[in-house]
Amino acid sequence: MSKYHVSIVEYKEPYESVKKAIDLIDGLKDIPNDSKIFIKPNVVYWNRHCDFPKWGMITTSRVVEDVVRILYESGFSDITIGEGIITEDKDDKETAKQAFEYLGYYDLQEKYGIKVYNTFERPFDRINLTDNLSVKMNTDMLNSDFLIDLPVLKTHAQCVVSLGLKNIKGLINIPSRKKFHSADPEQNLHYNVAQLANKIPPTLVIIDGIYTLERGPAMDGKAHRSNILVASRDILSADLVGANLLDIDPSAVPHLVQAAKDRNRTTDLSEIEIKGEKIEVLAKPHEWDYVYKENDTLPLPYAKAGIEGIKYHKYDESMCTFCSMLNGIILTAIKTAYKGEAYDNIEVLTGKEMEPTEGMNKTILLGQCQYTKNKDHPNINELIAIKGCPPSLDELKEGLKMAGIRVPSYFYKNIDKAPLLFMQKYKGKPEFEEAFFQI
């Protein structure tokens, strides 16, 4: 039986390291030069108001540039970079524009004649990923001849890992992304993510592990300088190897288990031939889960700080990206407002599955999904609805105020610059170079 090929390369120098990762698996073999090539990097988040730690969260511009140059020198001319960046305002076009400018994508456009698209400004086609799951997916990618998938080597608080398969989620439209976080116990987030590669063109996956991230996928995780590149023409094989490099058993990653099952494969590496470096040499343990205390009703640091009188239930897979963007804001607001006196027996519910606990004085329902599900629940004594999909910052402020969570005014005034707090842990560490995200 022929095996799936995966390369592991230690990143040492620009261009040559990426080229080696591709060449070890003949990554561009049999791809005609007139093919339409679509490159999907991973740009999880962008902030126009302040700098923030990109390491381990965003695909390095170093890898993006090297891939474009390799394609160009190999005779390919029809090359597109496409990504959709989530913003609070769905009409915000400036954030993506600034991100692409800073990351150097427009410089690559000028130098190599490529196209750069904000996928939220481009058309989507409805695609049936399975008989029961349809999504709207970016038309440009679907009409391309070859996809180059450039995820980051990182963990994910809901999906355990976020690699080649999960990166494709960035090519579906906003309603489809929300639908992926289903409350259906069978067709849940894990099942849906596993289906993402069903209708994409032939693909080369290059996992960028120059910087890796634990407790990802966002900036509140912990980045590491790991200098790892993984490449494969098979998306599942790349992800299985990537998980092992994070020291996570793929059998503990539900969407990889599902994807393997759908392909009549195993989650071990018996069907994979690895070329280049050995996993055991480069693997490093990366935690993915956030620890909560008291029956998952309060994050561990909050419990250790003695915060009382509030239940903030641990997120589940049904909380979509848009409400999860508010998760950190609310938790920080709760911590900032706490002055040593117990809160008034408050409960915060998120996602599509949670239900109110009996005996709580106040129940905050965050998001339209929670409000629709539980607005008439008999266990609620005082309902505080923070509606919206997602809720606005003003709605959030009013809801916390009604609950008696008195957040200082400076907190909201400086919220756009809150990511600066996460920069502190990398201060003075020369291995974390901003230059990797510039051309």
Rounded to the nearest 10 degrees, what angle do helices 16-23 and 61-73 cross at? 60
pLDDT tens digits, 53-65 = 999 999 999 999 9
Closest to 76 (Cα-Cα) out of 40, 31, 117, 22: 31
Q: CA dihedral defined by 275, 279, 283, 287, rounded to 10 degrees?
A: 100
State yes or no: cis peptide before 430, omega within 30 of 0. no
What local confidence, expressed as pLDDT, does residue 89 receive? 82
Question: Would you identify the CATH topology of the domain 4-288?
Answer: Rossmann fold (3.40.50)
Give the separation between CA 116 and CA 195, rounded to whole angstroms.
26
C-alpha closest to that of 380 among 397, 405, 357, 399: 357
CA distance 27 to 33: 14
CA 331, CA 310: separation in Å to the nearest integer?
11
Cα separation, 384 vs 380, in Å, equals: 10
Q: What is the pLDDT of residues 246-261, one digit of tens each?
A: 999 999 999 999 999 9
- For 75-132, give the DSSP string: T---EEEEE----SSTT--HHHHHHHHHTTHHHHHHHH--EEEEGGGS-EEEEESSSS
pLDDT tens digits, one per residue of 292-314: 998 999 999 999 999 999 999 99
Distance in angstroms (rounded) separating the CA atoms of residues 25 and 6: 7
Q: Which residues of the chain does CATH 3.40.50.11440 include?
A: 4-288
CA 411 – CA 248 distance, rounded (Å): 37
Report pLDDT for 91: 85
Tell me which DSSP letter residue 153 carries: E
134 forms beta bridges with 128
Residue bearing tokens 């390095």: 60
**β-strand partners of 161:** 155
Q: Tell me, what's the pLDDT at 322?
A: 87
State which residues of the chain have pLDDT below 50.
none
The reported pLDDT for the residue numbered 294 is 84
